[in-house]
Amino acid sequence: MSFLTDLVGGAASAAHSLRSAGQDLFQPALRLGVTGLSRSGKTVFTTALVHHLIRHSPLPAFTPAAEGRIRRARLAPQPDDDVPRFPVEQHLARIVDDRAWPASTNRIAQLRLDIDFERKAGWRSGPSNLTLDIVDYPGEWLLDLALLDQSYAEWSRETIAASRRPTRTRLAAPWLAALAANDPAGPADEDGAARLAESFRAYLLALRAQPEAVVTTPPGRFLMPGDLAGSPALTFAPLDLAQDGPPGSGTLAALMERRYESYKSRVVGPFFRDHFQRIERQIVLVDVLSAIDAGPEALAELETALDRVLLAFNAGRNGFFSRLFSPRADRVLFAATKADHIHHTSHDRLERMLRLLVSRAVRRTEAAGAKVGSVALASVRATRETTVLEGRTTLRAVAGTPEAGERIGDEIFDGEAEAAIFPGELPEDPEAVFHGEVQPGSLRFPRFRPPLVRADAAGRAGLLPHIRLDRALDFLIGDRLS
């Protein structure tokens, strides 16, 4: 990050890190960030992670569990009084009891786990404990960090230029019309500013509603305002400025610039300083399948978004002094979600496509000393594998219960009946999807309901099935339990 971003962190962040490091001398701790772009499965991942650790699940690829060294994991009191608690019990009940997915992440939330484990043989062998703080937050907020280094004029130019791309002009037309009707040098008008901000927000919502789920246009809080809805800090919009000079006093441009700067200082800055800068490990969840099915342009948009996400991280190798004064994310894992929507023979192909999307950012991050990984996973597996016959051809398919209203061709599902679906096959060469060799809409990825989880013979609640969640856990925290 730039000097300006570092300045936002400031002495308060260093003081907080110093207190945390002092506590860690007596109680080892790790702060794990969970984020992802829209509809990527952040809430489900965090819920499943906690579920399996607390239930002491068999996790073959999670080394400490496979070696039998995890003794117990339990929920601990909320660490930060000013951060909402992640309601894992409610989310788990919704998945298991209602067979419905929990609501998407729209604000920051936190949960603390205490993990008792046995260290490996050696001079440090014996019982130990790790405090795991899990911070769940919307990935769109990460994109806002770029605003800290942009002036209002720069952000306006970039945003307006993007809206005039051929693929966006139809969606942007109402907002651009409202923009043209407002003179930046005209007098500030509170009602007019509110209408223009709402028109800009409608444009951002229209972008996100597209199959590409475009997420590269900040500010992220316009889509997830939370308790800031209607506040002046969210009542601004880009303007078509004629020059870079400071706007005249009392003008619409001056009002918009002031609120833009207020958004940076009162919304983006505190998030960076109080939460983001303290994260030591990070997982970024990505819905690659939807982008593949939407076509090359959606993939290019996703690649840009992921590059910006990784640019936001203060990534690198952590030492004692860096942890005191400039904490770094020393491990970042990118995870392609919804692997249960395809046959296992395509899982490695999905992972290769994810690695291609983040390859540029990975090289830069690894050069800084951080470790970057990738995995294709399903935090909660909603399907099982089967085969279907199409003429004389046997196709590898998945079976599950599509949600009510999901459609494939002329068939609309009722949310109760199970269906076997051939999703299509991902190409062996990940570059093929960028060259249009997968026709948009040719793959079948309906949204499935969570699986039916039955109790075992002893009446104990069953475990949620998953795909490669244990691999993700091993990369993120396995070394801290050794």
**Contact at 8 Å (CB) between 362 and 303?**
no
Domain stop point among 244, 270, 296: 270
Instruction: Say which residue, 455 or 184, is predicted with more confidence.
Output: 184
Distances (CA, A) of 305 to 6, 162, 251, 308: 22, 14, 34, 5
Q: How far apart are CA 70 and CA 197, in angstroms?
A: 52
Residue 323 has pLDDT above 70, yes or no: no
Q: How far apart are CA 455 and CA 209, in angstroms?
A: 39
Task: Report yes or no on 231 lying in a domain.
Answer: yes
Question: Do 187 and 335 reside in the same domain of the chain?
Answer: no
**Contact at 8 Å (CB) between 192 and 253?**
no
Task: Report yes or no on 449 lying in a domain.
Answer: no
Give the least confident one: 228-242, 346-360, 431-445: 431-445
Strands (E), 175-327: 281-286
Nearby residues of 461 by Cβ (< 8 Å), 6 or more positions away: 96, 453, 455
Distances (CA, A) of 74 to 115, 117, 136, 316: 7, 12, 18, 30
3-class state of residue 151 by DSSP: coil
Element (H, E) at 374: strand 371-376
Q: How far apart are CA 335 and CA 354, in angstroms?
A: 8
pLDDT at 223: 82
pLDDT, the chain, mean? 85
Residue 3 has pLDDT above 60, yes or no: no
Give the least confident one: 1-10, 118-127, 293-302, 457-466: 1-10
Question: Do 20 and 89 reside in the same domain of the chain?
Answer: yes
- pLDDT above 90: percentage of residues in the chain: 52
Which whole number is the average pLDDT over 376-401?
93
Which whole number is the average pLDDT over 260-289?
89
Task: Report yes or no on 202 lying in a domain.
Answer: yes
Residue 378 has pLDDT above 90, yes or no: yes
Question: Do 474 and 334 reside in the same domain of the chain?
Answer: yes
Instruction: Say which residue, 6 or 249, is predicted with more confidence.
Output: 249
pLDDT at 478: 96
Question: Do 474 and 327 reside in the same domain of the chain?
Answer: yes
**Domain membership of residue 206 as a residue range:** 150-270
Residue 418 has pLDDT above 80, yes or no: yes
Task: Report yes or no on 431 lying in a domain.
Answer: no
For residue 81, what pLDDT band results from cuts at 50, 70 and 90?
A: confident
Pick the most confident of 367-371, 383-387, 437-441: 383-387
pLDDT at 11: 47
Question: Do 232 and 108 reside in the same domain of the chain?
Answer: no
pLDDT at 94: 96
pLDDT at 211: 56
C-alpha gyration radius of the chain: 24
Question: Do 103 and 173 reside in the same domain of the chain?
Answer: no
Helices and strands of the chain, counted as H and E runs: 15, 12
Q: How far apart are CA 7 and CA 478, in angstroms?
A: 33
Pick the most confident of 141-150, 379-388, 459-468: 379-388
- pLDDT above 70: percentage of residues in the chain: 89
Task: Report yes or no on 72 lying in a domain.
Answer: yes
Which whole number is the average pLDDT over 357-368?
78
Q: How far apart are CA 210 and CA 349, in angstroms?
A: 25
Nearby residues of 404 by Cβ (< 8 Å), 6 or more positions away: 413, 414, 415, 416
Give which of 329, 187, 323, 157 is closest to 247, Cα–Cα.
187
**Contact at 8 Å (CB) between 148 and 268?**
yes
Task: Report yes or no on 182 lying in a domain.
Answer: yes
For residue 4, what pLDDT band results from cuts at 50, 70 and 90?
A: very low
Question: Do 168 and 317 reside in the same domain of the chain?
Answer: no
Question: Do 227 and 261 reside in the same domain of the chain?
Answer: yes
Give which of 423, 284, 424 is closest to 357, Cα–Cα.
284
3-class state of residue 188 by DSSP: coil
DSSP 385: E
Question: Do 262 and 307 reside in the same domain of the chain?
Answer: no
Give which of 257, 246, 269 is closest to 4, Cα–Cα.
269
Task: Report yes or no on 446 lying in a domain.
Answer: no
**Contact at 8 Å (CB) between 157 and 219?**
no
pLDDT at 420: 94
How many domains, the chain?
A: 2
Task: Report yes or no on 427 lying in a domain.
Answer: no
Q: How far apart are CA 87 and CA 482, in angstroms?
A: 29
Domain stop point among 270, 290, 311: 270
Among left, alpha and beta (phi > 0; psi -120 to 50; other), residue 56 is left
pLDDT at 295: 82
Give the least confident one: 119-123, 165-169, 201-205, 210-214: 210-214
Element (H, E) at 31: strand 29-36
Give the least confident one: 198-202, 316-320, 396-400: 316-320
Give the least confident one: 86-100, 179-193, 313-327: 313-327
Question: Do 130 and 31 reside in the same domain of the chain?
Answer: yes
Per-residue pLDDT tens digits for 13-54: 444 544 554 454 457 899 999 998 777 899 999 999 999 999
Give the CA angle between residues 85, 32, 453 to the nearest 5°. Answer: 65
Tokens of 129: 């404990």
Instruction: Say which residue, 319 or 175, is predicted with more confidence.
Output: 175
pTM over 0.75: yes
Instruction: Say which residue, 316 or 468, is predicted with more confidence.
Output: 468
Question: Do 237 and 334 reside in the same domain of the chain?
Answer: no
Strands (E), 103-165: 109-119, 126-136
pLDDT at 346: 94
pLDDT at 26: 53
Residue 325 has pLDDT above 60, yes or no: no
Measured in degrees and rounded to the nearest 5, phi and psi for residue 309 equal: -60, -45
Domain stop point among 232, 247, 270: 270
pLDDT at 318: 45
Question: Do 326 and 355 reside in the same domain of the chain?
Answer: yes
**Contact at 8 Å (CB) between 308 and 168?**
no
Which whole number is the average pLDDT over 68-75?
96
| Domain CATH for 32 | 3.40.50
Roughly what angle, to the nearest 10 degrees, separates helices 252-263 and 190-209?
Answer: 50
